[in-house]
Structures are given as C-alpha cells and as structure tokens.
Structure 1
Amino acid sequence: MNVKDYQSQIETLIPFYNSADFNSMIDKVFFGESNSDKFLIKMEISRIAKPCTRIIDLREKVIEKTAQYTYFNLTHYLTTAADKELATAIKVYGEYTVGAYEQVLGYVQKIKQQQSTEATPKITTDINQNITENIQLNNHRKQTAARMFFVSKIEVTFEDGVVYQATTSNISISGLKIKLLEQRSHLDGQLIQVSFTTLSNEYKDKAIVDQKINYRLVKQQQEKTGFYLYLNLEDDKPEFVQFIKSFIRANQHKYKLDVLYYFRLAREKSLKNSTLMAMNSLPIYLNANSHKPILFMLRNAVNKDILNDWRCENTNQLPFLFSESRLKKLLSFAKPKLVTTVYSFTYISEGEEFLLSATEEELQQDNLKHLFIEYGRSKANWRCYHLTLQSYTYQAIKSYQLTDIRPQIFNDITHLATLTSISTKEIIKIDTRSEKGNPNLLNKYVHREKEEGFTPVYDLFPEELRKEERYRYSSSITLHTSDAALAGKVVDFSNSGLKIQLDTPKLLTRRSLVTIDFLDLQKISTQFTLKNIEYRVISSSPKGVYHLQIASRESYMTMYQFFSVLVVKNPTHFKEIPLKSHKQPVTTRLHEAAESALSQAFFYVSTQNGRPKISFSSIAEDAKTLKQLFNFECKNENQNNHIALSNNKLLDRLLTAPLRAACTQQEPLNFERTIYINKIQNDSNKWSIESYLDEDFESQQSKRDFVIKHKKLNQLQILHYRLTPIEAPSLKVISSELNVISCYAMHLSKRIEDEILNINAIIEITDRTEQILGG
C-alpha cells in the first residue's frame, strides 16, 4: 500500500493519537482494510506524531527574507509564509512534531517549484518554423546589471531641493528602482541624490555613510503596488559600486535575484564570444584627425586572412587604404554611414610586387571601374571587399577593475571601419566596350608609400594576457594576514602586481586581502610610504609562491609612482620579462570595442535530430534594412523571420547540402552565395517574399533582366550569404552566470547548456543591395 493515498484520513486521526479510543477510531475510519494496512497506517501516524528536535533553517535555502521564530524552546529561521505554515501544523499536531517539520519543508519545496515555473521564460510554440528569437550581441541592453529585490529605507533629494522619504524596490550596481509614498510627477532626466539611510546604519562603510549618491531619473510610473521611479547611477564612485556588488553577492541567497537577467546575459555572452571568434569582418579603428588615421585593428583566427591579403613586399598595405587624403574623401560620402565596395589585386613587374586598391567611389569618379575590374579580376589574388565606415566613440559599458585602465589609444578613436571579403560573382552590369583600355591608367591606385612606424594589430583571443611590464627583482618583504606576519621576498613585480615567495609556506585563500611591507625598498625611499600596501591573493604556485594584485586605489597610486621612478632611474638594473607577443589592452575592452563591428545579421545553426536547424539570430538595431527584411510577419522586435533564406527550398541548398558535403568530403567549409530577394505585394496589400540564387536563372542575361526589372520597381534586395563552422560556445565564458542560475532555477541552466552546446555553424548576412544596384 501507499500511505500517501490515505493522507486526508491520517490528518483526521492525528488530533486523537493520544486518546483512549484511538485504535477503535482507526478500525472505523479504515473499515474493510486489511490488518496489515491498518498496522502500517498506525505506524505512520506514530512516526509523524513524535516530538521533533530538528531546527528549520531556511536562510540558505530560499530567496525571501527570513526571521527568527521560537516554538517549544526551539528557534527556527523562517519566512513569514513558512512561519504561518508551521503554526498551522503545530495546531494540528498539538506540538512541534516530525509531521510538522515535514509539512513545512514540503510547503517550502512547493513554493520554490512555483517560483521556478514563474521564472521560466514563456516559450511560444509558433507554427512558423522560420521564426527565431533575436539575441542582441552589441550591448544595447536596457538593463546592464543584475537586480536584487531588496527593500530598504532611503532619502531622495530632487534638483529643486525637496526631500522625500522612500524605499528601494530593487538595487543593482548600475541603478535603482524606488517606491515613493505618494504619486507626484517629476521631471525626467534630472539628477537625484540618494542617501541609503538604513544601509548606512547597518553597514558602517565609508562608501555609503554620510554619502549622497547621484542618480538620474529615467522613468516613473504607477504600478499596482505603488508609485515607482527608475534611476540610473551617474556618480563615478568605484568604492560605492564595489560595496553594492559585494552586498548583492553576500545576500543573493537571502533575497530574490532577477534570475532571468543572468539567463539572458549567459546566452548573449556565449553567443557573442563565439561570434567574435568566427567573425569574418576585420574591425579597423581610425582617428580622422591624425595624419596617420589607422590606430589599430582587431584580429581573430578567421579575419587574419584579410590582413595577409593586404601584405605586399612584407609591408601591411591597409594604412594606405585609409591614408589621410583617402579617408577625407570617404568621409565626405558618409551620411552618416558609408557602405561601399573596395577592389584590390597585386601584380609583379620586373621582379617587384605592387598592390592596387580602389573604392567604388574612386573608380566611378575617375570613370575607370570597367578597366580596373577587367584587368584586375584576371589576377589570381583579385579581391573584393565590403567596406563600412561610421563615426564611433568608445564608451565602457561594464565596470572595470582598478588595474584595467582605459587605454589612451581608445580616447583617440573617431571612426570605425569594417572590411569583409566577398568571393561571390556579383558584377551584373553590362559593359558593351570591347577594349580593356590602357592599364597604365591604373597606376594612380598603386600603393607606393612606406608605412610610418608600426600599426598595432590586437588579438581578440590572445595567448598572452599580461596587462603591463613585469620585472624580475629580489627584495625582502613582510606579508600580513588577519592573524599572522610572514617573511618572504619579491620574485617579480609590475605596477599593479607582485609575485612573491614566502619563507614558510602558508595557505592563503584566493581573493583574500593581505598587506605588504617592502622592507628593503623602504630603505631607499623617503618619498613614498611602502608599508601596509593592500594586495589581493590571485593564485598560488608550489613552494609558497603567490601571485598578488593591488587591492585599493591608494595602494595602486603609491606603487605605480614608486615603481615607475625606480625603473626609470635604474634602467640597466631592471630588465623587462619578455612578452611572447605584443602588449595589448585588456581583452574585455577589445571585445567591447569589437561589438560595434557586428553590423551584419547572424543566424546560429544547431543540429537537432541529425538535421541542421537555425536556432537563434542576432541583428543589430542600426542594421535597418536587414532588420526590416528579417522582421517580416514577426509579432515583436525580439523575433526574426528567416523566410528569405528558406522559401523556394533554399535552406536545403544553403544549409543542409553544404554541411553534409563538408562532413563527407572532410574539407574546410566556407560557403558563400548571393541571394536575390523579390518582395511582392498582392491585391490585398499583403507582402510575400521570393528568393533566388545565381543558379536559379537560365543565363546571365536572364539574371540581369530580372535585376533591372525589379530594381525599377524598388522591390529587390540582394544579400551576401556566408556559412562557416564554429566550435560550440564555451560554458567557461558563462560559468559565473551559470552558478547563479543553478542556485535558483536548475532547469534554466540545463536549458542554456542544451541550447548552446548543439550550435556548430554560423550564417553571416550582409546587405549588398546598394553596392550592386548602384554599381
């Protein structure tokens, strides 16, 4: 028998467990049941009616706030709802019993399951298999940090000097949602000063005590539970941000976190990381105010082929594509963004190699496009590129560590260019001229200058992760922990880090805070105080060797200034530990800058039931023509419709067949096609889409006739399609997000793994309509 099947009858009998006629009541309630079943029921009632001494502690098990409640000399840590459930159970059992204990735990588990269900994003089963979720990659998120739902009293001061008492609704390192006692209209965009009154009393931290933190009002609205203001942090106060960050981390098990934020962030980070690894475009950062405009370029394992194509006579020729005079001309066409075509090739004359390049605008202006193309495309190294150029100012989106300083070179960026190789046959214009013309006219496009200095090429995924110069040096120190003073020596140093070896090995916890007294170095310095310098333990090596990172701004400024002076005054004594590659800015900043180069449409391919399927997509907000095309018949902006890639059975030819051929032939996959999309409006003003590939036309002439006809009707869109394989997104990139998600919604972390680990290819779509039709 299953005792749970008789739960209601058991609950009826519990109050009579100690009565004299208990056995006769069992016989009446369970009349007709076997004696063995009655015995098992009696044993179950005896078990759950026994007094219990176990304490219920929900502090690390739920996300709601808990408090102390005492019953029968036992103190429990319960939520308000759990306390009511325990009180009800005690009333039934007459005291705190095993049954009351199990009833509360069962109730808590039920609530957690309900919360997990509510936290799961609703999946709309759409009949249209062409609909995919749009996951934004280039950081246009409205919410930039995780929120914790936390209520605390605060005091807010508006620009007119009026002070209001309020409470927080949720907090994050970048903003606040606060609740006012009454609804009153306020001017959006104004600065508001917030004093964290309750937190200041509970935490005597200098980051919030007697501090008024500046926020900007971005939204206000009346909700069911009150009138709320939405605020964005405006102050540049790293200590305050660190305090909030630590507070959220320390209390994330006590208060409810916005798990969906981490869910969305995890998917975005993993896909963005894979996209940057597979990106075919080469991002180029420019300073239009300099006589040498190119500042640096960003390289991955794929787009490095573009850099190789632009090398001639062992020199990088890209700086001459963006020379001061050429860039000025290009910018005159940027309104505000220039999208054009660049052609290039090399030829050898008298044992010397020459590279020629020309933009669409240059060739049109000189009336030499036909000659350049006819002469150049006969060469083996003929290249065609899609070039974009737009103004760009680097803005840090995330909060960086003390030592991840913004590179000076980033401050000089005025424009961003991207260069994408195009290998398809796109030239459709008929030119009736039979003669090729005089090739000597093309000499004006030869790169003749010599590169001035060195143009940095930074790796998006470097093997060398060092941020600054390191020097070997042995010097005595004393390391102080909270309970010990340990002798040791410096092995090597940088402005913000130390490698040390302790005389007596001791276990130092990772991320723990220590202070260092530089005994020998203090003897040679009267300008700097080299004691109690705060460091944080980063990692350890065998034999008591530890790697430390500077932990406070005061300590950083002291050691930065001291070590700088020390090295400059003793150049022969301090030799830099050589790098394996060129030093470059911190990788997260490079990724942040590269996000703005993701201007194409991306579709992510996963294998499901042995067949490839487009699972996700991402189209930047400023890619308006692509967004409009792939938003066809979508219900909201968070969806994309890839009907333009799948109608007319295109997906079999564009996706299934190339992937199958790559598997069977075991050859590298780099599949490119041109797609011609005709948008048709019927008599009911409804639009439909028809897509064609080059091979769908009977001849070159029929393709030209089709293009010319629909160009006049303004109904044609021409896309460049590229399919390349990628490695499945790495879970290491999102390990911190997965850890948080797993604490509250295990099914969501499992869902992320199922979604991204099956991704094995990426589709890049570039809109080439204007470049082909206008050429």
Structure 2
Amino acid sequence: MTATDLQQYIGVIDRMKSLLNSADFDQVFSLLTSDLPKSKQFLLKMELKRMAQPCNYYIDLRGHVDADVKPYDYMGKTHYMDDNAVKIFETGLKQYGSFTLGLYEEVLNTENNFRVMHRKQTEERVRNALEGDVDNIDSDSDPDSEIPALYAKLINFGQHTARRDERMHFSIDVALEINEQRISASTSDLSVSGCKLKLQQPVKADIGQLVKLHFTALEQEFVLGLADGVLYKTIDIEQQATNSYWRLERQQSENEVQFAEFLKRFISGNKRRYKVNLDHVSQSLLSKGYEQFYVPRTSSLPVFIAVKNGHPAPFCALTTEYNKPVWQYFLDEQHQAVFISILNVKRLKTLLQKTSVEMSTILYSFTHAVQGKLFFYSATSEELAESEQLKELFLGFGASKPSWRVFHLNLQRTRAALAEIPVTIPEQSSVKTPAPLSNLIKQFIQDVRYIVSLSDITGNENTFWYQSYPVDQQQLKLLAQFGHKKLLNQPPCEAVAVQYVNLRSESRYLYKTAVTVAERDSPLAFSGHSRDFSSKGLQLETTLPVRYKKGDVLLLSLPDMQKISNKYALSALPYEVMAVSKSRTIMNLRAIEGSEPHTGRLFFQQLIQNNRAKLTLAEESPKYPGLALALRNLYMNAHSHFTLYVHRKGLRYEISTLAKGSQGNSLHQLLSIYSNDPQQLDLALILQNNAISLHFAQQLKQMKRFDAPRAFELFIVVDRTSAMPTLECRYDYEFISEQAKQQFVLTALQNSILFCYKMLLSRTGRPDTEFIAPELTYISTYAIHKAKQLEEELWSVAGVIDVIDISAEIPWRFGASTEQSQQQNAKQQALLAQLQQPVT
C-alpha cells in the first residue's frame, strides 16, 4: 500500500499506472512532477516501480469482505473474490498490463473490506473527538436518535405444516362461482386436495363458505365433464396490494373421484415442467433444524405433569447437558425428585388463574440438611408478597445459604396429541419418513396436561443483593411454613435425556482397565482405571481427587493391556486433560498427536477393530425408545421463550433469525411496537452499539461447544409520556458498577415501565442433519440449489441465545417494596394488553 507521505500525490500515481512499461514513462513523469523537489520525484518513481513488480500471490477474500466470495481463475491460479474485487482486478489488468503488486494491494483495500471499514470508522471517531464534534460522538448513545430498523426472520417452533398432496405452481384461468355470480380468476398453485386462487377484484366471502370453481382453461384441452363446476371450501383469504389470494379445499361431490384421478395424473405428468411448491417443506425443515439447535442447549428444565383422576403429578423431565444442574438440585438424599412438593396443586392453580402473556412466577429456594436428610424450602413471589416481614426474612436468610437458588417458573398447557410431528412430506413422495409413536409411548404420555419450565436465574452478583435483606434470628421459626414435608409414597419422576445427533467424532466403548498416571519431569505416579475409551481418548477415574485442569498433559501407562500386546509400547503415552468432573475424580483425556502416530491411538484402533462385537457402546439405550422425541415435541409446541440465533458469515457474526413458541413472551411484543406486526420484529433496539461484534461474538470466539452458557442481562425502559411508547435498552455490562445498575432500576421502577431479561449465550455444534433428512431429501429432488441454500444456512449457526423474562425478579433483587413491584407489574400488563389489541 502506498506510504502515507505519498498519499497527497495519489493523482500522479493513478495517472502513471498505465504508463509503467511505456517508452513515454520518463517524459510524462517529468512533466507531471516538474514542480516537485528531486527527493519527492525519486520517492515517487521508486513507488511506481514497486507497484509495477509482477505478483505471484493468491487473492483470498473469504471472510475479509462484506459480500459473497466466488472462485475466479486467472493464469492457472484460482483466486477468491467478490464481484466488486473482480471488477477492480479486471480494470487493473488493463491499467497495469499484468498482475502486479500494486493491483494486488488495490484488490485487498476495497471499500467493503472489513479492515478498511474499521479503519475509516476509527479515523472518523478520532477526527470528531479532536474537532469537539459532540453531536457526532454521542449520536450512537442518544436514546432519542433514530436507529435503523433491523428486521429478523421469524421461526415458529412446533409449527410444521402437513400436506397430503404435492402442490404445484400452476397458473391457469378459472371462473369462481359465488353468491350466484361468476368471477374471472386464476390459480397460483394447484394440488389434488386444494388450490390457491388469485383474484384481481375484491369479492366478499366468509371463511368456511362453499364456492364452485369452473376450470375453463383445462376444459378447452381435456374432456372433464365438469359443467356444474367443482365444489371447494374457503380456508383462508389474504390481501396483498391490489390482489386477493384465496386458499381453497376441494370438497366431496359426485364427480370427486374422477376429477381427483385426473388431477393426480396431470400433476404427476407436469411436475417436472412446472415448479413444485416447496415452501411448506422448506419452512418445516428450518423449523426442525433451528429447534434441534435449541433443545440440547436449553438451560430450562421442562417438567411434565400428568393429571389422573383430577390429581396433577410430575412424571418426567427432559434433561440436557445444560439443564442437568436444575434436575440434580431438586433430588433429595435418596436421589428422588421432589417436584410433587415444589409444583403443588395450590401453586399450579395460582398460575392457571393468571391472565398475563406468560403464566409464570419467581421461585425462591434453599435446602437444609439434618441427620443425613435433605429438606427443601421454597416460596413463590406471590406467597412472599402476602407479608413484607416474611419476604425479607425468607430472602435474607435463604440467600445466606450455599444452596440458595432463584428460578423463573413458567407453566404451559399441552396435550398428548402434540407429541407427534405431522409428516411434512406429501404422500406421493418415495422419501422415507419417521415411524409414528409407538402405542407404549402414547399410553405413557396420554394423561400429560401441563409443562412447567424451571430456569435457574440466580447469579453470584444477585445473591449479594438478597443477602442485604435484614434477618431477625428470633423469627426464623416462621420459615417452617415454606418447608416441604417428606412424603411416604412419593410418585416417581424420571429424567429422560434428550436425543440428538452424536457430535463425537467416534464411538466410545465401556471398558475398565488399570491405568498408571504420571507427570512429565516428575518421578511420582498414581493409579486409576479407565471407564470408557475410543481410539482418540479415554475417560479415567481415580480414587482420590486430582488437582489437574483442562490443558494439562499427563503420561499414561496401561500395564494390563501391555500383557496382551507385544506390538505396541503402552507406557508414558501423552494425553491432554479435556475436562474434570466436579468431584475431581473423573477426567476426560485426549491423545496428543505429534510428528509420529500416537501409539495408544494405534493400539485402541486395532483393539476396537478386532473386538467390535464383544465391546459395549458407552451410549446407553433409552429406557423407552421414542419417549425423548415425544417430550421434545410437546415442549416445542408449548414453550414461550424468546430465542436468537447467531450466524457466522466469514469473519463476521450477525443475528438475523429469531424463534418463538406458540405464545411468545413480552419481548416479542415490545420489539413489534414500531412495526405493529408481530411477524416483523425489529432487533435494532437490542443490537445497538455493536452488541453482536463487541460482546456476543467475542464471547463465542472464546467458547467451546460444551462450555456453560454465558449470561447477560437486558433492561428495557418504556416511556409512555408520549402517544407512541419510546424504548431505551441497556445491558448489564454497560453499567460501571452494581450500585449504578441498582440506581437505574429503582429510577425506572418509579418513573417508567421496566422489562428485564436474562440472555444465555451458548455455542452450537454442527446441525442435526439426520433429523431433517426427509425434508432435505425431498427438496433436493426438485431443487438441489434450494436444499444446499437451506443446509448452508443451518451450518452457519454458531450460537444460540435463550432469553428469559425476569421482570418479576428484578425489583425485589434491588430492594423495591412489594407495593412497588405490584404497581410495576400492573403497568407491564396494561402495556402488553394494549399491544395485543389489533391496530385500526
């Protein structure tokens, strides 16, 4: 790149590019630089000669520019450039005459290069600061300044469209007979069981009304015998600009069988000629794909409640790697879940009586151990609100206990019929679809009526505030009313592990053998035994806790294995510690590959190859095959969390996709304020000030797939002093201290409406392509490019952000009174009720 001190002569340099190898170079150069000092003329000539040097570098702009990059062949080499870079490259070839160093630098410094864009932004900020341009400096942080809209694609969890027939894009003239009138129209797509109609003139009709269609254009080519038309029922009417689109379902009639056979033959014979409508299959594929990113990474524990003879009882919970701590917290000394006491009938009835967007509450809990028995104490925010004295006593004393936890508890209705995903592939297709649920699973879940989601929102900094509540030691006996008695016949509640794609590179096998462990440059060694192994690593258990951490290198010897192998030396094998259990007695180890193949890997490879039939896979088979899938489907149909997806585009990260359950939550409504459309959510408010690149992306870069989620808190203040509510957004990391955050919250509670959310960011692995295989195969049959596009979208997902509404917890955390909290809740519900009303 041209040096800074020569930038002022860039006009001379551009003029001389095309003359670098010309005989007129010296004459033109002297003419253009006659008024410059000899020293500058010399430097300019050296710079031009440097730029004219032939270049053999490859150009690779993948991840470096804000555009799509494609391969570009030149002189036997494949470069990777976007359209803008190609244009500059080809123009430069004409100017320089060949691929030179100067041309290479021009291509690497285009306007859409991230490095160039960042440098210009930095220079502008510095210039504004030096010039004292306060307006420009503060414009980004001014809540009243206009923020450009950032609309996101909305994925609806649990909504999978089932279609019996293939729907073909087919436009043909028809006549619509309604209310004794015949109106000209045309089809936009057609199937055996229905069609989509396009009308260019307004026609009044009711949903469910019966109409007749006369296929006038088809009858000119085929003998259909449809003089009386075909009977259809109106399913949906949608207005787009000046056109009206009707969805119709064909009804049974005298000529139904004959016409249906004709349509089957007609569509089958023309579906290669006309495009098959893949919209519903594509939507189902994306919905299922994004669900499979979310479910294994949810930190909320779904507990399923069955109702038998009028008595509700938790019977199972869906566990993941992230929500297992919640499950384990509610296990007593006999490892039995105590949800029957925590989610008692009184609490469920209180939640069901709520009229808010979410039937939710905040659950405060701690445990007390006496003579080897574990006793649970818990209270909801509604129970504590009955007495200010009890509230302060419970919160202050409970927060002083190591077992103190704060949960967001959300109740959702469900029914067993939602446990099965409808088949989204048309019946005519030969694509293999998943088997239906077995009768055993249907019987197991037949009485399920509710799902309670428990989300741990405790946080170390939150506990500090609860500990500031005063505790009168003389009043501690009053807390007995919140204790849960031991039940003699406690109904069982099972943990069902969620089933999803195995992200391990290879299978693990259960095997116990002696292992001697040593450190480099240390004569000390200790013994342990393997729990399972693969060729690339093993899980080791020791009798005493170890002090090792992730990244440490250990030398392993396998004395018993050495007795059966003369081919491999199984001593001092280097392994790296990948994870250590909380008890510090179990370690996951990975073989360290050097310049030579790892001896342990070669040994275990041969051992597995020769004894595969005798070895036992480490992955346990589910107790009830298909139950995890059924519970997963129930949860996806009922859950109301707000979920954001972080996509990686080259070196950039972006958030342009979000998902919602059947109900959604308050954040969905807040983000639709300015669009007045719940399907058009504007993320600009929560992604301002480079929240993606400066915080979410930086966290993701440091995270591994198995790392615990990183937590953020989001505060949204709604000001209703004007006709249109105004929103201000602040993240917890934007406050200089916890005290500043407290002051912000208390001020907002007094003067405005405050909504608060906990955001849990976790890193994803690869997509579960097995789960979406039927849809992917079907789409590939008709549009391979469409299938690749959808698959690439899912492969670009790098992170998931689960958003939980904690607006009810924040006031008490920062010391607000019960009255303030209740007034704030009333304001929130009034605003949300207003937002739910249709716009007239």
TM-score by length of 1: 0.56
Q: Is the 8 Å Cα contact of residues 619 and 626 (structure 1) preserved in structure 2?
A: no
Please say if 1:435 is aligned against 2:465.
Answer: no
Alignment of 1:730 with 2:768, yes or no, is: yes
Q: How does 1:542-581 map to 2 (within 5 A)?
A: 580-581=621-622
User: For residue 369 of structure 2, what is the amino acid of its counterpart?
Assistant: I
Aligned twin of 2:406: 384
Q: CA deviation at 1:334?
A: 5.4
Q: Does 1:219 align with 2:244?
A: no
The reply to whether residue 300 of structure 1 matches residue 320 of structure 2 is: yes
How far 1:179 sits from its partner (Å)?
7.8
The residue aligned with 2:248 is: 231
**Which residue number corresponds to residue 755 of structure 1?**
793
Match status 1:662 vs 2:713: no
Kindly indicate whether residue 499 of structure 2 is the aligned counterpart of residue 461 of structure 1.
yes
Q: Deviations over 1:695-723 (max 9, x none)?
A: 714452x4333212111222422111111
**Aligned mate of 2:371, from 329, 334, 350:** 350
Give the whole-Å Cα distance in 1 for the aligned partners of 2:729 and 2:239.
45
Residue type of the partner of 1:765? V
1:271: Cα distance to partner? Answer: 1.0
Correspondence for 1:692 among 725, 731, 736 = 731
Cα displacement string for residues 86-111 of structure 1 (whole angstroms, at most 9, x for unaligned residues): xxxxxxxxxxxxxxxxxxxxxxxxxx
Query: What are the superposed Cα offsets for residues 48-75 of structure 1, whole Å, 9 maximum, x if unpaired?
Result: xxxxxxxxxxxxxxxxxxxxxxxxxxxx
Query: Counterpart in 2 of 1:41?
Result: none
Matched, 1:707 2:745: yes
Deviation at 1:166, TM superposition (A): 11
Q: 1:175 to 1:377 in 2, by over 3 A?
A: farther
Is the 1:130–1:641 contact (alpha carbons within 8 Å) kept by the matching residues of 2?
A: yes
Q: Is the 8 A contact 1:340 1:359 kept in 2?
A: yes
Residue 164 of structure 1: CA displacement? 12
Instruction: Determine if the alignment matches structure 1 residue 170 to structure 2 residue 203.
Output: no
2:310 matches 1:290: yes
For the structure 1 residues 243 and 140, does the alpha-carbon distance in structure 2 shift closer, same or farther, using more than 3 Å as the test?
farther
Maintained 8 Å contact 1:279/1:303: yes
CA distance in 1 between partners of 2:187 and 2:285 (Å): 26
Amino acid aligned to 2:365: S
Q: Corresponding residue for 1:469?
A: none
Per the normalisation by structure 2, the TM-score is 0.52
Is the CA contact 1:392–1:413 (under 8 Å) kept in the aligned structure 2?
Answer: yes
User: Kindly tell me: are residues 667 and 594 of structure 1, through their superposed partners in 2, closer, same or farther at Cα, counting changes over 3 Å?
Assistant: closer
Secondary structure of the structure 2 residue equivalent to 1:689: strand
Offset of residue 254 of structure 1? 4.2
Query: Match for residue 609 of structure 1?
Result: 650
Q: Does the CA-based 8 Å contact 2:399-2:467 persist in structure 1?
A: no
| AA matched with 1:689 | E
Match of 2:294 in 1: 275
d(CA) in 2 for partners of 1:233, 1:459? 43
Aligned to 2:88: none
Aligned partner of 1:594 among 592, 614, 635: 635
The whole-number CA distance in structure 1 between the counterparts of 2:732 and 2:202 is 60
1:417 and 2:452 matched = yes
By how many angstroms is 1:735 displaced?
Answer: 3.2
Q: What displacement does 1:726 show?
A: 1.4
Check conservation: 2:285, 2:776, Cα contact below 8 A.
yes
How far does the alpha carbon of each residue in 1:232-263 deviate from its partner, in whole angstroms, 9 at most, with x for none? 5899x9xx999999997886434321234444
- CA drift of 1:315 comes to 0.7
> Which secondary structure state, in structure 1, belongs to the residue aligned with residue 771 of structure 2?
helix
Q: Is 1:628 matched up with 2:669?
A: yes
Once structures 1 and 2 are overlaid, which stretch shifts more, 177-186 or 322-331?
177-186
Q: Deviations over 1:23-67 (max 9, x none)?
A: xxxxxxxxxxxxxxxxxxxxxxxxxxxxxxxxxxxxxxxxxxxxx
Please give the secondary structure, in 2, of the residue aligned with 1:312. coil
Give the deviation of 1:402 after TM superposition.
8.2
Q: In 1, distance between residues paired with 2:630 and 2:265?
A: 23
CA contact (8 A) 2:161 2:284 kept: no
CA contact (8 A) 1:192 1:217 kept: no
Alignment match, 2:5: none
Task: Tell me the residue number matched to 1:576.
Answer: none
Task: Give, as a single letter, the amino acid of the residue that structure 2 aligns with 1:398.
Answer: P
Identity across aligned pairs (percent)?
22
Amino acid at match of 1:755: E
Rounded Cα–Cα distance in structure 1 between residues aligned with 2:741 and 2:749 = 12
Counterpart in the other structure of 2:422: 398
Say whether the 8 Å CA contact 1:315–1:451 is kept in structure 2. Answer: no
Residue 717 (structure 2) pairs with residue 678 (structure 1) = yes
Local SS of the residue matching 1:646? coil
Deviation at 1:356, TM superposition (A): 2.2
Post-superposition CA distance 1:123-173 (Å, at most 9, x none) = xxxx97872522323245789786323589999999x99999999753458
Aligned CA-pair RMSD: 5.1
- Alpha-carbon distance in structure 2 between the residues aligned to 1:657 and 1:736: 36
Tell me what 1:371 maps to: 393
Could you tell me whether the CA contact under 8 Å between 2:174 and 2:215 is conserved in 1? yes
Q: Secondary structure at the match of 1:761?
A: strand
CA gap of 1:249–1:327, structure 2 versus 1, over 3 A, is farther
Question: What residue ranges of structure 2 are gaps of 5+ in the alignment?
Answer: 1-145, 223-229, 425-433, 503-619, 812-820, 823-840
For 2:644, what is the secondary structure of its paired residue?
strand
Q: Distance in 2 between matches of 1:683 and 1:366?
A: 36
Paired with 1:592 and 1:683, the residues of 2 have a C-alpha distance of: 43
1:219–1:230 CA contact under 8 A, matched in 2: yes
**Which amino acid is 1:286 matched to?**
I
